Structure 1
Amino acid sequence: MDFILNKIGKYLDKHSSFDQQMTDLKRKLKELNGLMKDTESVMRTELQPRKKLKAEVQIWLENAERINGEVQDLDGRIGESNALTRQFYGEEVLKSIREIYELIIQHGKFHGGLVVDNPQWVGQVLSTTSLSGEAVKACIEDIWQCLMDDEVQKVGVWGMGGVGKTSIMKIINNQLLEETEKFDMVIWITVSKEMTIAKLQKVIASKIGVEFCGDEDETTRAGMLFETLLRKSKFVIILDDLWEKVSLERIGIPEPSVGSKLVLTTRSSDVCRQLGCIVIKVKPLMEEEAWKLFLEKVGHDILNIPGVEPIARSIAKRCAGLPLGVITIASCMKGIDDICEWRNALKELSLRQKSVSGIEDEVFRQLQFSYDRLKDPKLQDCFLSCALYPEDREIEEGRLIQLWIAEGLVEEMDSLQAEFDRGRAIMNRLVSNCLLEVFIERENRRTVKMHDLLRDMALHIAESRFLVKAGTMLEKAPDVQEWSMELEKVSLMNNWKLYIPSEMSPPMCPRLTTLLLSDCKITSTPEGFFEYMDALKILDLSGNPIKSLPQSLSKCPKLTTLLLSDCGINSILEGFFDHIDGLKILDLSENPIKSLPQSLSNLKNLTSLLLADCEDLENVPPLSNLRVLKKLDLQRTNIKKIPQGTENLVSLEHLNIGYFNKITEIPNGILSRLSCLQDLIIGETLINGKEVGGLKKLEILKGRFGDWQNLNMYLQAFHGREEPSQYIIYVGDLKWHAVFVNTRKLIGVSGCNIYAVQTMLPRDIEGFHIGDCHLDCSEGYPLFSRFIIFSLGSFSSLKFLQVSDCRNMKKLFSPSCVPLNLQVLRVNGCKQVEEIIAPEGGMVTMEFRLPQLSLLELWDLPELRSICSVGAVLVCDSLVEIEVLKCPKLKRMCLNLPQLHNVPPSAAVSLSIWIRPKEWWESVEWDGPHPKSLLEPFVRER
């Protein structure tokens, strides 16, 4: 009987254990499936174009799917068994539990995201314009169907200029980038009317990573492209704005087959037919669709102006359903609330006569309306000047504005900055009227682009006055017959193989004011070439390896702008400038020139002398006669003394001798006479604080004072007037350079003693770096109590503070002088510092706040004991990075990080804690409202 009871007991125990194992299996499987769901969610976010899933993640997902199937099968088999036989599945259950447990552990090792870059993927997301209308939607669907159809290899998107072909294809391009399984290369190429086989080959090569040596012939280049594209059979090539049939074989593009596609946009249906494309026509907008687009661009508020809606509808109707025309004219009318102007605009459009022959008549008539509405002839000429640059080329804003200034299209003002601002306003006007588009816009750089249709229109308007063959791969200068008597502007820029035949007769262009020959690789110009260009104002030969200039150039008395940067010029003949009396701007920067002729001193109308990067230049002729000179740039030259006569440049507004220059000091008495100075950029060169403080128009200062006294004298001069809007001022020696990102107002001090007497700082200082200084006063004084803000009582503007290698400093701040808006605090190598914020006598402060502090860096501080006093806490709402390296005596971290309060476990917190050594973290006490364990996931050893 006992034997039977024991057997039953073991059976029941084993049965109970098996049930527990099944419960564990299902619980672990549920946990695994939760991880799978989270992984797939993150994967959908991260798996963008040019990315692919990590191999380990792919294998993990496959194993997770497999184990799900196996457990489902096992559960089914167990369910069909009886109470006795189900025990035989115990080993399989335990094996499944172990495997699931291993998968869960593996998931925790997916650091750094789930995806990696896909080196096989080629393509670029393009900026798009919002399009509306059923016709547009249907067109996009038709193109997409063709691209998804393996039977279709070539698609031609056809329509008149301005109808939206490029905008539609940009949308398609971006959609294709999502089809990473179907295509691994999406190549967009903008084709201009002047595009050559060689240029197309070069563009395609840059997109797919093929490198040409430069000496290959067309056939060899085609073979290299063909071989690369053939290996990558899943490609889409988009040729935008194709004007005529091209030979795919000559270029090196394989005939598309299954898996590859060729798409082109063109204004000619013949091109589509000749290349054997499925043709999809982009039709103009329907009247109501055009009106909807017009309203989007002009603003719905025009509907509130009595009587305007029917007039606006009529104007929209006259755009013939062309999106480009609708957008251009709507932008031109944006913000106008006078019904008289609306009636007048409709009248002008209605009376517009055909002025352009060819298929683009209707488009040009609409686009020219916006040009005419500029009214101001100088504004119109600024627009036309944009057509001097190559087609489809982005134009650097500063370069374009300088051209306008030099041409006299921007009126002369009291400073170069004012002239630039005026040029920027003109550019904004052209952009807002859709005559230019912004291509790149960053904080300190903007480039613009001219729509090719608008460029065509501009060149038609200026047809008899302009000769433009920029960026056309021209090898020989146009024949003299093309240089007509009426020409005012000629642009042959960016033709890299251009030469001017020595036997060419001098062009007779008495009205020519602008000649642009930059970046053409011209090595010489014929003697006499400039002989009959009496009205020439601007000559740009920059970027050419030209060694000498023809004497006939000195026969251009009206020349105002001579741009010769980066030309390889190593000398200029004496007397060259004798007869160019009207020269205003001379740019010789980036040339290996060693000396300048004395005749330079006679250029009495010169306003800009630019010699930057002439590294061999040691001397400049006396400048005393250049009384209207506004800009002098000597940075990165070998000049060791300030040029003779600089003190007489009473009109000088910009003086730049740069950083790392050879001029160690500007003698007293020179700067005080340059009362018009606005920009003074002299890097490490020593200057007199009192003299610089007396420059009442100064806006930018980058220079060095020898000591605190000079800084104080400089600041004392600012009574009742603003300090410069931008400054980087060094005080003392030059052991280091202070650099803070996004800081326009910075003081850097090195090697200066800090005394008990308080030292002034500018009222709006943003960055302050103190390095290698000695605190020469009682140890009871915190370092920062030695500084005061000029005319104010707080450091409200200070955002960045770095204190490095300061001696005899035991405390940094007192509670009353903590910069409350500090964003970055770095304290490095101060061997005696004991506290960051020290309590004042009798004061009990329980809480300090630095709400904007994002980085706290404490390095190599062997005596540091606390950040703030016992019982106090530092509240940092925005802190994202803490670095504590080699601070062995720091035993208590009294930081309150509100961003960690009440954060759900799944929420992402942006926080990094870098430490060294690891043992320090293990022993330190976190004296804040949250436990130290909460911070463990953010700790990394440096």
Structure 2
Amino acid sequence: MDFVLNKIDKHLDNHRSLDQHRKDLKRKLEELNGLKEDTESIKRSELQPRKKLKAEVQIWLENVERVNGEVQVLDGRIGESSALTRGFHTEDVSKSITEVEELIIQHGEAVKVCIEEIWHCLMDDEVPKIGVWGMGGVGKTSIMKVINNQLLKETGKFNIVIWITVSKEMSIAKLQEDIASKIEVKFSGCGDETTRAGMLLETLSQKSRFVMILDDLWEKVSLERIGIPEPSNGSKLVLTTRSADVCRQVGCRMIKVKPLTEEEAWKLFLEKARCDIRGVEPIARSVSKHCAGLPLGVITIASCMKGIDDISEWRNALKELSLRKKSVNGFEDEVFQQLQFSYDRLKNPKLQDCFLSCALYPEDEEIEERSLIQLWIGEGLVEEMDSMQAEYDNGRAIMNRLISNCLLEGFTKRGNRRCVKMHDLLRDMALRIAKSRFLVKAGMMLEKAPDVQEWSMNLEKVSLMRNWRLCIPLEMSPPKCPRVTTLLLSGCCLESIPEGFFKHMDALKVLDLSGNPIKSLPISLSKCPGLTTLLLCRCRIESIPESFFHYMDALKVLDLSSNPIKSLPHSLSNLKNLTSLLLADCKDLGNVPSLSNLGVLKKLDLRGTKIKEIPDGVLSRLCCLQDLIVGETLIIGKEVGGLKKLQGTLEGRFYDWHNLNMYLQDFCGREEPRKYTIYVGDIDFDTFFENEGKKFFARGCNIYNYQIVLPRDIEGLHITDCNVDCSEEYPLFSRFILFSLSSFSSLICLHIKDCGNMKKLFSPNCVPPNLQRLRVGGCKQLEEIITSEVEPEERGMVITEFHLPQLRQLLLNGLPELKSICSAGGVLVCDSLVVFQIVYCPKLKRMGLNLPKLDNVPPSASANLSLSVQEYCNVNCSEEYPLFSRFILFSLSSFSSLKSLYINDCGNMKKLFSPNCVPPNLQMLSVRSCKQLEEIITSEVETEERGMVITEFHLPQLGLLSLGDLPELKNICSAGGVLVCDSLGIIGIVDCPKLKRMGLNLPKLDNVPPSASANLSLSVRIRPKKWWESVEWDGPQPKSLFDPFVSFR
């Protein structure tokens, strides 16, 4: 009975809600049909005649027609229904609403009107200039980034794509500099605008078919004055702007970017809000509508409401937005009010100030995360903590909050450097909020500092950074800015600063003068009592007055890195609040005053100085050190071990193994530094290491019967020029294992070089399991990489597998006694190997390698694999077993993934490939200095058995074939064989005097008339010329066909 009653209740609910559902369906269908009319209007336009767009639009229009018909039929059925049965149609109406909503959303995705139209104009040689315009925040730059990325992928149409961001305060000089950097024009100090324009004009005119994108242009520009030629011969100029007038004045084909439809905006809002809005949907929709279809507004407002499901907060947000809308004049003000809503909802004043500080950087600046957080710390916006890492983590949490609220855009640059960027509208909004407190003219190509009148009494932060021609006149009166806490003057090429410039800046906390060629500091700077951060890196400071730091009691951070300074004043010793002293790459700095009084110093950086050692007793006084970075400077193990807070970075050189052991013993049981680079003996910088954060170098140190302890979490280990007392029983890594009690489970990179008497590297139970890169070179007595603890006669036919599943690079070089990688009966299994290089290992008879990723791989899948066998030397290859047959036998691999093969200095190798072992996907083949090599591809059939049969060997992807210094080479293929290369673009034959048969077939040369040969990409480089004249061309094409492509070296 309950079941029946529930059914009746549900039916009555459906009956009551049917009318509301039908109203919703009618409203949404009207919106859909409005879009349909717009689309049909575009379809009829001659602006978009392309088939692809028409097909997409046609499919969408057909779906709209179908839905209209279905809704009409549904309405008829509902009209014919009795009062009792009407409720049964509610579910059908709901389905129709969903389908209509999907079509509304698909409209934006399917038509892509702006992108399609811009692309069409780019492909149309009759449209030289394109203007993409629309209100701020509507997505013009985002659209052009899509276009830009696509242009960079499709290189056939245009020779160069140049993206230039134009700021609101546009400068002709700045535009010229930006363009010059993209097209590699150097003005060499030329300050004349007309001359620079001429240089750009000449260079761009020579670059046929270029695309110049000027993003965010605010006013009309004279192309001639900048140096941009009028686009012709397929070249294009594309600009984005908020003004249709700018497009007209420049003479562009105009393309308007319209706001999102209501449904598109709602979909984007839901995506960014990421919360269950079922209980607040009507209010949330109203909030979304206040964004007026601007993507930036939708994203920022939705992001600041992320995760909120309390209806009261949504009501309050709607009320705030409604009040803001009533108080503004004009659409631009409305946009700023939308964005400021997100700023206001940060609520925390320090969080808001962190956001505002981002506006101190130039427009569109890619701000490095670390420098921004250091700025916040200097300004006191990040809570002061005992740990520098904790302060940094706090700053990063603030940054992540701003990114989460879409007030900043986070991304990672090359080298894994995290950066943030501020949208120009958000930057404008920040500067509007801080208008009376900030003076920001960063990156505007100023040649003179702002007049004294602009330096008002209320200023708190001033940024003139990146004005590389800036000059502060010596006669300029000292600015009266008693409240200024931050002054950023980095990268301005300032050669001098007036002596009294800082006279009225008593509140100054952060001063950044980095990257200026100033040689001395004004005396007035030494009288700033509140200064906490002084950044002077990459200047030309040669000396500092003795008493300069006498009054700087508050100074916490002093960065003098990369200055030609020779000594530091003794007043430095009195900086009792100094936490960071950065002197890296001061190459002439030979000594510093006593650091013993710097009791709260947390970071000391002396890399790249002339300081030989840190004297006895100094480090033990610096008990707060968390980062000790001294490079080649010698440090005392026991004193470093006593630094109980050293948990950040350690980089330094210990005198010997004893000092290293003292450090590690004192550190035992404590948290080790997060990053370290430890040297014992001489310095050896190894480029083999990549991103390992924990590295150890030993050079010129004997490893005999000494208790050697290494850090337990070491990631990179380099041992070079060390005499190792390794008996048969104790290979090198057994010694380390025994003494360090470490399994080296963290070790990912190992380089062993020039270790004279080492015979074995690993014992079976000491192979580092997570090794990724292994290089062994110059070890004259090394016989095995992995040895066995079992006698040969005991092994029988048992195969022992040693697994290095993460090994990517295996490089063996100059190992004259190396006989095997693994002892007999052992196989090294490498699942991830991509680079395998063996150079001068004449006694290597047994490879013992297994690469599982190459097993059972069909040729069609080989493109997904990567293996580069680079060099193999002095191979004992009999007539029966050419080199690659040997590899096939040992690795059980068809080498179907091999793309590049370099064979150098392999003394007794006579053949390279047997017929069934030619790597099918080879792209580059270089063979050099193999004194006995006779054939590249040999045959398994005797010459008299071949008769007139021609055997073709296909290398369809081979692009480069280079053969050099091969005195015995007679054939590329055995008699009767032809190498067919569809893609060959470079052929090099140098000093192969006995090569009489080429046996090459290049199908791309077939049926090519002489007049068209210049369009072919082929280069044949020959030495000597006399050889070319005598060589027999044994392929199906005449030798004369190659003559136009031959050059003699």
Place the TM-score, normalised by the shorter chain, in its bin: 0.7 to 0.9
One-letter amino acid of the counterpart of residue 702, structure 1 = E
Instruction: Note if 1:711 corresponds to 2:660.
Output: yes
One-letter amino acid of the counterpart of residue 256, structure 2 = K
Q: Give the alignment's TM-score, normalised by structure 1.
A: 0.77
Instruction: Note if 1:290 corresponds to 2:252.
Output: no
Alpha-carbon deviations, 1:140-170, whole Å to 9, x = none?
3333344444443333222111011111222
One-letter amino acid of the counterpart of residue 930, structure 1 = L
Relative to structure 1, the CA distance from residue 802 to residue 551 in structure 2 (aligned partners, 3 Å threshold; closer, same or farther) is closer
Relative to structure 1, the CA distance from residue 232 to residue 630 in structure 2 (aligned partners, 3 Å threshold; closer, same or farther) is closer
Q: CA contact under 8 A between 1:811 and 1:834: conserved in structure 2?
A: yes
Give matches, 1:691-730, under 5 Å.
Answer: 691-699=639-647, 700-730=649-679
**Structure 2: distance between partners of 1:382 and 1:478:** 25
Give matches, 1:622-771, under 5 Å.
Answer: 622-638=594-610, 662-663=611-612, 665-699=613-647, 700-734=649-683, 739-755=688-704, 759-771=708-720
- Residue 615 of structure 1: which of 557, 566, 587 is its match? 587
Q: CA contact under 8 A between 1:592 and 1:616: conserved in structure 2?
A: yes
Which residue number in structure 1 is paired with residue 982 of structure 2? none
Relative to structure 1, the CA distance from residue 716 to residue 518 in structure 2 (aligned partners, 3 Å threshold; closer, same or farther) is closer
One-letter amino acid of the counterpart of residue 268, structure 2 = L
Relative to structure 1, the CA distance from residue 636 to residue 818 in structure 2 (aligned partners, 3 Å threshold; closer, same or farther) is closer
Alpha-carbon deviations, 1:547-586, whole Å to 9, x = none?
3333333332222222233332323334333333323323
Give matches, 1:786-801, under 5 Å.
Answer: 786-788=735-737, 794-801=743-750
- Residue 471 of structure 1: which of 430, 437, 443 is its match? 443
**Structure 1: distance between partners of 2:506 and 2:828:** 73
Residue 668 of structure 1 deviates from its aligned partner by 4.3
Alpha-carbon deviations, 1:736-777, whole Å to 9, x = none?
758522322233333344345764433222233333333436
Q: Which piece of structure 1 moves more, 917-926 or 331-340?
A: 917-926
**Structure 1: distance between partners of 2:208 and 2:869:** 48
Residue 490 of structure 1 deviates from its aligned partner by 1.4
Q: Which piece of structure 1 moves more, 685-694 or 421-430?
A: 685-694
SS in 2 for 1:236: strand
- Residue 566 of structure 2: which of 563, 585, 594 is its match? 594
Q: CA contact under 8 A between 2:708 and 2:740: conserved in structure 1?
A: no
Q: CA contact under 8 A between 1:546 and 1:567: conserved in structure 2?
A: yes
**Structure 2: distance between partners of 1:757 and 1:616:** 38
Which residue number in structure 2 is paired with residue 98 of structure 1? none
Alpha-carbon deviations, 1:226-262, whole Å to 9, x = none?
3333444533332221111111222222334563433
- Residue 165 of structure 2: which of 166, 181, 190 is its match? 190
**Structure 2: distance between partners of 1:604 and 1:759:** 39
Relative to structure 1, the CA distance from residue 873 to residue 552 in structure 2 (aligned partners, 3 Å threshold; closer, same or farther) is closer
Instruction: Note if 1:222 corresponds to 2:170.
Output: no
Instruction: Note if 1:782 corresponds to 2:736.
Output: no
Q: Which piece of structure 1 moves more, 256-265 or 154-163?
A: 256-265
**Structure 2: distance between partners of 1:635 and 1:577:** 23
**Structure 2: distance between partners of 1:539 and 1:501:** 19
Q: CA contact under 8 A between 1:585 and 1:608: conserved in structure 2?
A: yes
SS in 1 for 2:821: coil
Alpha-carbon deviations, 1:868-890, whole Å to 9, x = none?
33333332222333333333333
Residue 432 of structure 1 deviates from its aligned partner by 1.8
Q: Give the alignment's TM-score, normalised by structure 2.
A: 0.70
Instruction: Note if 1:876 corresponds to 2:830.
Output: yes
SS in 2 for 1:761: coil
Relative to structure 1, the CA distance from residue 309 to residue 478 in structure 2 (aligned partners, 3 Å threshold; closer, same or farther) is same
Q: CA contact under 8 A between 2:601 and 2:624: conserved in structure 1?
A: no
Residue 364 of structure 1 deviates from its aligned partner by 0.3
Q: CA contact under 8 A between 1:914 and 1:940: conserved in structure 2?
A: no
Instruction: Note if 1:492 corresponds to 2:502.
Output: no
Residue 388 of structure 1 deviates from its aligned partner by 1.2
Which residue number in structure 2 is paired with residue 847 of structure 1? 800
Q: Which piece of structure 1 moves more, 266-275 or 218-227?
A: 218-227
Q: CA contact under 8 A between 2:546 and 2:569: conserved in structure 1?
A: yes
Which residue number in structure 2 is paired with residue 930 of structure 1? 892
Which residue number in structure 1 is paired with residue 504 of structure 2? 532
Q: CA contact under 8 A between 1:354 and 1:361: conserved in structure 2?
A: no
Residue 320 of structure 1 deviates from its aligned partner by 0.8
Relative to structure 1, the CA distance from residue 471 to residue 884 in structure 2 (aligned partners, 3 Å threshold; closer, same or farther) is closer
Q: CA contact under 8 A between 1:756 and 1:786: conserved in structure 2?
A: no
**Structure 1: distance between partners of 2:527 and 2:380:** 21
Which residue number in structure 1 is paired with residue 873 of structure 2? 917
**Structure 1: distance between partners of 2:522 and 2:770:** 61
**Structure 1: distance between partners of 2:845 and 2:109:** 70
Residue 188 of structure 1 deviates from its aligned partner by 2.3
**Structure 1: distance between partners of 2:717 and 2:154:** 51
- Residue 256 of structure 2: which of 260, 270, 281 is its match? 281
**Structure 2: distance between partners of 1:352 and 1:162:** 18
**Structure 2: distance between partners of 1:781 and 1:199:** 66
Alpha-carbon deviations, 1:583-616, whole Å to 9, x = none?
3323333333333333333333333333333333
**Structure 2: distance between partners of 1:401 and 1:483:** 26
Alpha-carbon deviations, 1:705-746, whole Å to 9, x = none?
344333333333344333333222233444675852232223
Residue 454 of structure 1 deviates from its aligned partner by 0.8
Relative to structure 1, the CA distance from residue 865 to residue 369 in structure 2 (aligned partners, 3 Å threshold; closer, same or farther) is same
Give matches, 1:792-831, under 5 Å.
Answer: 794-831=743-780
Relative to structure 1, the CA distance from residue 507 to residue 761 in structure 2 (aligned partners, 3 Å threshold; closer, same or farther) is closer
Residue 504 of structure 1 deviates from its aligned partner by 3.0
SS in 2 for 1:787: helix
- Residue 866 of structure 1: which of 797, 820, 828 is its match? 820
Which residue number in structure 2 is paired with residue 550 of structure 1? 522
One-letter amino acid of the counterpart of residue 266, structure 2 = W
Relative to structure 1, the CA distance from residue 577 to residue 694 in structure 2 (aligned partners, 3 Å threshold; closer, same or farther) is closer
Q: CA contact under 8 A between 1:312 and 1:342: conserved in structure 2?
A: yes
Q: CA contact under 8 A between 2:596 and 2:621: conserved in structure 1?
A: no
Residue 321 of structure 1 deviates from its aligned partner by 0.7
**Structure 2: distance between partners of 1:760 and 1:131:** 65
Residue 787 of structure 1 deviates from its aligned partner by 2.2
**Structure 2: distance between partners of 1:736 and 1:183:** 43
Which residue number in structure 1 is paired with residue 786 of structure 2? 837
Q: CA contact under 8 A between 2:599 and 2:623: conserved in structure 1?
A: no
Residue 512 of structure 1 deviates from its aligned partner by 1.5
- Residue 202 of structure 1: which of 177, 190, 212 is its match? 177
Instruction: Note if 1:238 corresponds to 2:213.
Output: yes
**Structure 2: distance between partners of 1:736 and 1:150:** 54
Relative to structure 1, the CA distance from residue 930 to residue 194 in structure 2 (aligned partners, 3 Å threshold; closer, same or farther) is same
SS in 2 for 1:830: coil
Residue 367 of structure 1 deviates from its aligned partner by 0.5
Q: CA contact under 8 A between 2:411 and 2:419: conserved in structure 1?
A: yes
Q: Which runs of 5+ in 1 are unaligned?
A: 1-129, 639-661
Residue 317 of structure 1 deviates from its aligned partner by 1.0
- Residue 384 of structure 1: which of 356, 359, 380 is its match? 356
Q: How many residues align?
A: 786
**Structure 2: distance between partners of 1:567 and 1:184:** 39
Residue 392 of structure 1 deviates from its aligned partner by 2.2
One-letter amino acid of the counterpart of residue 473, structure 2 = P
Which residue number in structure 2 is paired with residue 328 of structure 1? 300
| Bigger relative contact order (CA 8 A; separation at least 6) | 1
**Structure 2: distance between partners of 1:450 and 1:507:** 29
Alpha-carbon deviations, 1:384-421, whole Å to 9, x = none?
11111122222222222111111111111112222222
Q: CA contact under 8 A between 1:913 and 1:940: conserved in structure 2?
A: no
SS in 2 for 1:565: coil
Q: Which piece of structure 1 moves more, 393-402 or 232-241?
A: 232-241
CA RMSD of aligned residues (A): 3.1
**Structure 2: distance between partners of 1:437 and 1:487:** 28
